[in-house]
Amino acid sequence: MSALSLSSAIELVTDKLNHIKLSPSQEPLVQVSCDILPLPLIAWLSAQSVYPRIYWQGRDKTEEVAAIGQCQDFNFSEETSDNELAEIYHSQCGLSTNQELRYYGGVAFDRSLPCWPEFGRARFVLPRIELRRSGDRYKLIVNLNTQEHSLAEECQNALQALAQMQSPRPLPPPHKLTPLSRSDKPEYSRWKSLVEQVTNEKFNQQTPKVVLSRVTQLEVADNIDPWMVLACWQGRNPNSFQFGFQFSPERTFISCSPERLYRRRQQELFTEALAGTTTRGVNQEEDELLAQQLMDDSKNSHENQLVRQHIVDQLNPLSNYVGAEERPSVFKLNHIQHLHRSIRAELKQGVSDFQLLQALHPTPAVGGLPRDSAMSFIRQREGYMRGWYAGACGYFNKLDSEFSVAIRSALLEPGRINLFAGAGIVAGSDPETEWQELENKLATIMSILVEL
Say which of 64, 130, 154, 259 is annotated catalytic: 259
Single out the residue of 154, 29, 39 nearest to residue 103, CA to CA.
Answer: 29
Q: How many residues does the chain have?
A: 452
| Catalytic status, residue 259 | yes
How far apart are the C-alpha atoms of 326 and 53, rounded to whole Å? Answer: 41
| Catalytic status, residue 192 | no
Say which of 130, 154, 209, 272 is annotated catalytic: 209
Residues with catalytic annotation?
A: 209, 259
